Amino acid sequence: MSLYGMMRTGVSGMNAQANRLSTVADNIANSSTNGYKRANTEFSTLVVPSTQGSYNSGGVTTTVRNAISTQGVLQYTTSITDLAINGDGFFIVQNTSGQPYLTRAGSFILDGEGKLVNAAGFQLLGYSYENGVPSATANGYAGLEPITIKQPELVATPSRNGIFAGNLPLDAETVDTTPPPAGAGDATAGDNVSTSKYSAKTSLVAYGNRGEEVLLDVYFTKTADDTWEVTVFDRAEAAPDTSFPYASGPLVEGELTFDPATGKLSGTDGITIPVPGGDSLELDLSGVTQLDAGFEVQDADVDGAPPSSIQGIEISSDGTIYAQYADGSFKPLYRIPLASVASPDQLQVLSGNVFTESATSGAVSIGFANSNGLGGISSGALENSNVDIAEELTSMIESQRNYTANSKVFQTGSDLMELLVNLKR
């Protein structure tokens, strides 16, 4: 029970409110900072020993908490390298000296070296696809490298798989190969002579090893009821206009037999074409039917791609960064991991909207987006700060009042002290 004690309690109250006002000031100042997490001030009592009849006032201590686990509002932008996490998790970034940090500020741009750098200058880290599909190292930063989008060498993919589906006409005229006088002695496409006859023709684009386009002429020749010959030629060797005869024989010759009951293929349902200057192409013909309709193509597709360079990048919601090539194909380059800790709100807050592990936060574990409770990555969006101005203003008013009240306590103590001093004349 002392006047000094009471005055000191008033001072501690004023200090506590000043702390709170400081966090409010911080929050308001950073209310538009992407990835900023609001700071909260929590107070706790400080009690000093008292005896019966003599009470000693204590004080108040301040703990600043950051609402790191509270999601901010996503704001959509037009840049695809603006990233936001919708849910739990942090991007892993490093500063120029290579020290890893966690952040939710995802306004990344490509710098001169092709690295993704955010507004505070931190580089985004990820796992590279260079040595196959990456997997996350659960409990450490090993294997992570700064994501670098460079213009790599041109990439070409040879054709290996294809599909052709369609209908061969049931009433097509049979090419009569029986020699005269018993038959007409006609030549089929497979005989490759200028008088070769065929029932239907289609052509497909395939790609060679170096990405060169190879046009394949595919001929279907009805040789008997329910039996068709299929022959594939290289267009580059075709004679003008009529194509026949080709400079060399067919690349592959096959026979298709149809089930008369259903009009569907009953024997082999594919051919393997050795693409000139390329790989062997498995052409799936299982969708070919022989029904009483005209020649019709229902599907024709061959994989492979011509050589092309990166046109742009795309980031999927699971964090994979794809390079988009000029021909429209995609190739994964990096995968962006997300980090999480057991108690995100207790992470240590550092300048530049970054966080680092503290003794109480728990250790960092790394995983991929949309798995193990981690959120998804939105490309073309930013996470706004989670500060609400109205809330900050109300707490500011409250703090102001509390501060005034505390100052009244101090003033009262001071007045009493003056009274006491004046007792002695």
Partner 1 sequence: MSLTSALSIAQSALFNTSRQTSIVSRNVSEAANPDYSRRYAVLSGAAPGARISEIRRAVSDVLFRQNLTAQSDWQGQATLSRGLETLKINVNGIDNASSPATMIGNLQTALQTYAATPSNRTLAENAVEAARQVVRSLNDGAAAVQALRSDIDRDIATSVDELNRLLAAFETVNEEIVAGTRARRDVADAFDRRDALLKQISAFVPVSTITRADNDMVLTTTGGVTLFETVPRPVTFTANHTYVAGMAGNAVYVDGVPLPAGNGGNTTASGSLAANLQLRDQIAVQMQQQLDEIARGLITAFAESDPSNALPDAAGLFTWADGPGLPAAGTLENGLAGSIRLNPAMDTSAGGDPERLRDGGANGAGYIHNADGAASYSDLLNGYLDRLQQPMSFEPATGLGASQSLSSFSSEAIGWLESLRHEAARGSEAKEALATHTATALSNETGVNVDEEMALLLELEHAYEASARLMSVIDEMLATLMEATR
Site residues (vs partner 1, CB under 8 A): 31, 73-76, 166, 200-205, 213, 215, 217, 238, 240-243, 294-301, 311-312, 314, 324, 326-330, 384, 387-391, 393-394, 396-397, 400
- H or E segment to which residue 193 belongs: none
Residue closer to partner 1 (CB basis): 227 or 324:
324
Task: Name 143's Cβ contacts closer than 8 Å, sequence gap at least 6.
Answer: 127, 134, 137
Residue closer to partner 1 (CB basis): 72 or 254:
72
User: Looking at the DSSP assignment, which residues form a beta bridge with residue 258?
Assistant: 265
Dihedral of alpha carbons 291, 160, 329, 338, sign? positive
Residue closer to partner 1 (CB basis): 99 or 394:
394
Residue closer to partner 1 (CB basis): 123 or 370:
370
Contact between 364 and 341 under an 8 Å Cβ cutoff? The reply is yes
Q: Minimum Å distance from CB 133 to partner 1?
A: 21
Contact between 218 and 250 under an 8 Å Cβ cutoff? The reply is no
Q: Minimum Å distance from CB 301 to partner 1?
A: 5
Q: Minimum Å distance from CB 313 to partner 1?
A: 10
Instruction: Give 3-state DSSP helix, strand, coil % of the chain, rounded to 5.
Output: 15, 40, 45
Q: What's the CA angle centered on 216, arms 215 and 219, to 5 degrees?
A: 140
Q: Minimum Å distance from CB 419 to partner 1?
A: 33
Residue closer to partner 1 (CB basis): 220 or 355:
220
Distance CA 64, CA 43 (A): 9
Q: Residues for the chain: how many in total?
A: 425
Q: Minimum Å distance from CB 250 to partner 1?
A: 14
| 245 preceded by a cis bond (ω within 30 of 0) | yes
Distance CA 399, CA 18 (A): 8
User: Looking at the DSSP assignment, which residues form a beta bridge with residue 274?
Assistant: 280
Q: How many CB atoms lie within 10 A of CB 338?
A: 26
Residue closer to partner 1 (CB basis): 57 or 370:
370
Q: Minimum Å distance from CB 67 to partner 1?
A: 12
Contact between 102 and 90 under an 8 Å Cβ cutoff? The reply is yes
Q: Minimum Å distance from CB 189 to partner 1?
A: 11
Q: How many CB atoms lie within 10 A of CB 62?
A: 17
- The one-letter amino acid code at 315 reads I
Q: Minimum Å distance from CB 58 to partner 1?
A: 30
